[in-house]
Structure 1
Amino acid sequence: MKNWRGQEILALIYRLFLVFFFYQIARLLFWQFNQELIKVDGISEYFKLSYYGTAFDTTAILYVNAVFILLSFIPIVINTKKSYQKFLFYWYFITNGITYAFNFGDIIYYRFSQARLTSAALDVGKHENNLGKVFWNSVLQHPFVFIWFAVILILWIFLYKKVKVKEEKPQNLIIYFVTSVINLCLIAVLTVGGIRGDFKHSTRPINLVDANKHVDNPQQANLVLNSVFSFFRTMNTNNFKLVHFVDEKFIEKEIKPYKLYQRNVEPKPNVVIFIMESFAREYSGAFNRQNNIKDFVSYTPFLDSLADQSLIFNNAFANGRQSIHGMSSVLAGIPSLTDAFTSSPYSNQKIQSIVSVCNDMGYDTSFYHGAPNGSMGFQGFGNILGFKHYYGKTEYNNDEDFDGMWAIWDEPFFQYFAKNTGKKQPFMATLFSASSHDPFKVPEKYQNTFKPGPLQIHVPIQYTDYALKKFFQTASKKPWYRNTIFVITADHTNQVYYPEYQKTINRSAIPILFFSPDPKYNLKGVDNRFAQQIDIYPTLADLIGYNKKIRSWGRSLVSDRDEDYMIVNSDAINEHMIIGNYTYVFDGKDVTGIYDKADLELSKNLLNQKINAEQKLGIEKTKAWYQDYMDRVINRKLY
């Protein structure tokens, strides 16, 4: 055994087994804390999903432990010495401990992101200078996660030390080196196969979309996956690839990437767009009157009252999962798919948007966000879109109103917005709110003002709603107020309470509201049609009388024409497209699921049934839209 290194082989197998075991423990905890968001039909189905997850665990574990495996078997004679085994111990727990923590971070943030951790987090984080504060705040808010992690790590170390490698000196160096090389070659083959997920040369390495092969509901794919796999598999990847499914004539006819709306509007109205942080549709009473949710409570009394005087869309959806996704969707009509456009190599290009349209029409354009300038990537993307002015924490210039974590509190910053904007008309101004962001605090003087709800976010939502009320009180006294069109929507959703919003499609359910004090714009009523963030840009272009073609995958929600709709969003694994009476799940190559539009949980896949004519056309439209999106992004045809 001294020459064949048998005890070292057994020790390595045991140590890797521990990693697999604790990955399954992390998966179980992830499910337990998010089971209302990931529906699993009993313990037997859970075990089936966790079994399929082993393939993804294998890839992640081998990514992290490849060097450890190499160090364990490299033939340097001293491998069994106590000092070398101590070195291996530290290497093992530093690398595995850090990456294992990814899974525990996702226990918390899956509720906000609705997706497993990906390398896109690096693109978000590089714009922030408060990550340390965010981390410690998360620990204080969710101590159970930190405690579980610490307990598991202590148990893991205890079990690791149960199997020790005794010091041995090889008696025959030739046999020792030969067997070591043979073992390393065998281990290398097994490691490569494990990382790829298959030993077939013709098979591509497994990816996030492969998790869907084993599930009935697309949300279950997040249970099959683990956060280490999803993070490493998306590093240095580029899912932006040209595809060809249909000819251009089909795209022109069915997708209609260019729109033309002709309306005579004089004088030109001002435009104010509120993109509200995490303002999910679930929190607002006016947008839930048709749902008949038992014991429903609204946390937006002002928005509800404004909705009674506005045109609202109570079946509207976000086109992305993060704040910057909301900015590109609302202002430029560019949704985020599996990979976000804003963090892609193609984001820095000329883009037609409501900003460029307003600039073309002589508007004064500005963007407001109370965070440190550059935060969230807003200032950089705002420059790409062509905003003439940017107002952030620097321009506000009063740190007494800083919340200590993210930005200036919404109430004072909304007042700054109301008083600072409109100095030149016509103008288009966008404000991105901040206070309804985790860690879900409100200013000290409002600590006991708002009624707590079952979710932490309910109090800051009320605070921001109050700030919105105060804004309109101030703005209504301004000379520009009457001739202004206001838009209020959310960037994305956040914490979920009611079962109706735990459904897969409703995870991206947001409000969309158009309001103007001037009745000539006829922005009144409740519209039950499906709508989305990318419809806002063409709707505003129509309302302000931009009588030229615009590049848009959305459509005007106030047009006299009855235009077809395609609702587009992504769960970071697949694209979801609602077309006509059906929802189509698309993995970048094929439609893998067809569901009735009313099946918001995506519980019954109709793909295996006989495909009808509408579904066949829907599959073609799904692929055609995706083809056009990739073509315009990659070939820089977004203008």
Structure 2
Amino acid sequence: MHKFPRFQEYKALFYRIILAYVFYFLARVLFFVYNSSLIQIDGVFDFFRLSYHGLAFDTTSILYINGLFILFSILPLVINAKKGYQTFLFYLYFVTNLLAYAFNFVDFIYYRFIFGRSTKASLESLENESNKAALFFNFLTNYWHVFLLFFVTAFIWIKLYKKVKITSTEKPSIKYFAASIACFFLIVALCVGGIRGDFKKSTRPINLLDASRYVTNPSQADLVLNTPFAIIRTWTANAFKKENYLSKEQVDKLIVPIKQYNNNSEAKKNIVIFILESYGREYSGAFNKNANIPDFKSYTPFIDSLAQHSMIYTNAYANGYKSIHGMSSVIAGIPSFKVAFTSSPYPKQKIESLVTTLKSVGYDTSFFHGAPNGSMGFLGFGNILGYDHYYGKNEFNNDAEFDGVWGIWDEPFFQYFNKTLTEKKQPFMATLFSVSSHEPYVVPKKYEGKFDKGTVNIHQTIGYTDFALKRFFAEAKKQPWYNNTIFVLVADHGNTIAYDEYRKEFNKHTVPILFFSPDEKYVGVNDDWAQQIDIYPTLLDMIGYKKPFRSWGRSLINEKQVPPFVIKYGSNVYQYMEGNYICTFDGKKVVGFYDKNDKAMERNLIKNRTPEMDSLELRCKAFVQDYMERLIDKRLTTVK
């Protein structure tokens, strides 16, 4: 036996912690295998280079998760090596490790939808779902291979853990306790340094942004990270804080947060907004005519035909990556960045929006969503915005049309939408959030085989929702309110990617935006920058709303004060797009400028700055500064 006290125990502890590193590396390999088309890696050496940098993030996660296990393993006691105590350590080790480790496996699939590691906000998005068991069963059924991999990995991990056993029969002595206490403080110090991410005298622990220090392409940061780290670091992090980049006068001049239009005479048109679940821009032919994508195929024949009589925006983006982000962006003009506005401490305040402005001039306002009432947080946020009516699965009141997972099938719910609108007094504003173009990507049995299944799982459901829209418009045309209505079609975010063009960093989260009026007042194709937060001011401009209102977006039809732009958050940076360039900003400094056509971010132009780039930096900082101030100070109205 080794003469150093408790040598066997420390050796076993080291072995058990090293095992965690091995399995975190395995999770990183599997994560890349599942998402290799979305993460640009230049060969095996590049993968191992990024994995090496990932060790710091793995260390933080492993030490956080194993904190209690390590503590109980090194306490200067006399029972540590006993069988009962070791059994206790075994269960403590695997309950904590496997629970955290499982989140890596969830992101094998979930990453395809949000293009980032899951965070605390991802967990919060499930809070409002009443059918969690059904969603879990659906995930288990469709992605059984992920569960199988997890259980096989867990089984191997447990077998390897048991390879090293402790059989020490050391007797307590002064030397035993002195060495135990010394090792206790040494190991605690090492753990503190490991949790912070380094052993230097740094000012703060490493966070998600630090992963971007080692990458040549932003998507690589998600390979450097692991999901437990992303959740831990965002659990108590406050992503909302005031900034002071510029003077208030500069901010107001650069982004004009209070808008007022006098471009059109007042016309109390009805407004009907379809926010289409997961309806990424890549699925519709009308929005890809000039994309030059080899073998491109459209799955939206009706939208393509409607687009010929509409004003469409072919270079539009979502201002978030979840459904609730789409609602806040489209209806209230409030984007979501690192942490969603709706998941922040600040949504419960007076919010000027499309709902409040239209209600002030006599509109009836309604929100429709075929899922169980409250799903996605829509009912709660709808109440904050002040919708007069909410229509969900409860109001539809026919579970024969329930898809078994998310809600009422789109076709019957769209017909219910039409019927309910026909019963309303004009003018009205109604928002419908669709359901069916969503995982598990199935259609009603009577339509199986009718829609092209295409090349990725979502394609047939895109076709089904397009068909539901066709049926809706066919019936709506017969109604007295139809000719006095402006229709808007927009996606909440994208989904499964079929074409390499849309795997490029700056083509992620692209959405279609379409305005249709039966009188065809607005018809054409616009390739300028556009975004979800522009819909709110555009509609107010179209109906001749004359009062001032708070809006970070711009009217897409008449705006003169603010140039076309897009702001979104991805790969741990703000991405500000305007004119000829795209600016990436980490909240403290600009980290890149890219040509607007360099959607894959292959050439950073930051060393060759131009006056136009300087202007983008100022506008990006002005936007972030005003956004944070207004949210925190509860000034989401026309109050200046």
Give the TM-score, by structure 2 length: 0.97
1:297 aligns with: 297
Pairing 1:264-413 to 2, within 5 Å after superposition: 264-413=264-413
Partner AA of 2:591 in structure 1: T
Q: Which residue of 2 aligns with 1:47?
A: 48
Q: Secondary structure at the match of 1:100?
A: helix
Secondary structure at the counterpart of residue 80 of structure 2: helix
Counterparts of 1:428 and 1:635, CA distance in 2: 29
**C-alpha deviation, 1:54, in angstroms:** 0.6
Cα distance in structure 1, aligned partners of 2:451 and 2:256: 47
The one-letter code sitting in structure 1 at the alignment partner of 2:507 is: N
Amino acid at match of 1:8: E
Name the counterpart of 1:469.
470
CA distance in 2, matches of 1:435, 1:452: 14
CA RMSD of aligned residues (A): 1.3
Q: Which of 576-585 and 345-354 deviates more?
A: 576-585
What per-residue deviation string (whole Å, max 9, x for no partner) do you get for residues 544-579 of structure 1? Answer: 111111211111011163731331111262211112
Alignment of 1:448-487 (within 5 A): 448-487=449-488
The alignment partner of 2:302 has SS state of helix
* 1-structure distance, mates of 2:204, 2:102: 28
1:255 alignment partner in structure 2: 255
1:578 match: 577
Q: Deviations over 1:270-295 (max 9, x none)?
A: 00000000000011111111112111
Aligned equivalents of 2:138 and 2:625: distance in 1? 42
Indicate the residue corresponding to 2:545 in structure 1. Answer: 546
Give the SS at the match of 1:313. Answer: strand
How far off its partner does 1:201 sit?
Answer: 4.1
Is 1:110 matched with 2:108?
no
How far apart, in 2, do the equivalents of 1:439 and 1:414 lie?
20
CA distance in 1: counterparts of 2:555 and 2:528, whole angstroms: 12
Q: Deviations over 1:472-500 (max 9, x none)?
A: 01111110000100000000010001001
Task: Report if aligned partners of 1:314, 1:527 keep a CA contact under 8 Å in 2.
Answer: yes
Determine if the alignment matches structure 1 residue 23 to structure 2 residue 32: no
Please list, as runs of the form range in 1=range in 2, the aligned pairs for 1:610-621 lying within 5 A after superposition: 610-621=608-619
Q: Which runs of 5+ in 2 are unaligned?
A: none
Residue 89 of structure 2 aligns with which residue?
Answer: 88
Which amino acid is the alignment partner of residue 348 of structure 1? K
Match of 1:627 in 2: 625
Separation in 2 of the partners of 1:546 and 1:266? 6
Q: Secondary structure at the match of 1:368?
A: strand
Shift of 1:154: 1.6
Cα distance in 2 for residues equivalent to 1:560 and 1:260: 10
Q: Distance in 2 between matches of 1:499 and 1:631?
A: 38
Query: Which runs of no fewer than 5 residues in structure 1 stay unpaired?
Result: none
Give TM-score scaled by structure 1 length: 0.97
Contact 1:271 1:484 survives alignment (8 Å): yes
Say if 2:6 and 2:170, in contact at 8 Å, map to a contact too.
Answer: no
Corresponding pairs, count: 635
Residues 327 and 572 (structure 1 numbering): CA distance in 2 closer, same or farther, change over 3 Å? farther
Partner in structure 2 of residue 491 of structure 1? 492
Cα contact 1:3–1:170 (8 A) shared by 2: no
The answer as to whether partners of 2:56 and 2:198 remain within 8 angstroms in 1 is no
Q: Which amino acid aligns with 1:553?
A: W
Q: How is 1:173-212 mapped onto 2 (pairs within 5 angstroms)? A: 174-212=174-212
What is the one-letter code of the residue matched to 1:630?
M
The answer to whether the Cα contact below 8 Å between 1:338 and 1:572 also exists between their aligned partners in 2 is no
In 1, Cα distance between equivalents of 2:312 and 2:258: 25
**Contact map agreement 1:350 1:384 (CA 8 A) in 2:** yes
Q: Distance in 1 between matches of 2:522 and 2:243?
A: 40
1:238-275 deviation per Cα after TM superposition (whole angstroms, max 9, x unaligned): 11001101111111211111211113435410000000
Q: Which residue of 1 aligns with 2:563?
A: 564
Deviation at 1:428, TM superposition (A): 0.4
| 2:267/2:544 contact within 8 Å kept | no
Aligned to 1:154: 155
By how many angstroms is 1:30 displaced? Answer: 0.5
The separation in 1 between residues aligned to 2:439 and 2:415, in whole angstroms, is: 22
Question: How big is the shift at 1:58?
Answer: 0.5
CA distance in 2, matches of 1:150, 1:368: 40
Q: In 2, distance between residues paired with 1:622 and 1:180?
A: 55
Measured at CA, do residues 293 and 202 of structure 1 come closer, stay the same or move farther in structure 2, by a change above 3 Å?
A: closer
Q: For 1:222 and 1:171, how far apart are their aligned partners in 2?
A: 48
Aligned 8 A contact 1:565 1:579 in 2: yes
1:523 positional shift: 1.2
Mapped to 1, the partners of 2:267 and 2:300 lie a distance apart of 33
Residue type at the aligned position of 2:451: F
Larger CA deviation: 260-269 vs 424-433: 260-269
> CA offset at residue 439 of structure 1?
1.1
Q: What letter corresponds to residue 616 of structure 1 in structure 2?
A: D
CA offset digits 1:141-185 (Å, max 9, x no partner)? 12221222122112111211111111323241x222222221111
Give the structure 1 partner of residue 528 of structure 2.
529
The letter for the 2-side match of 1:563 is V
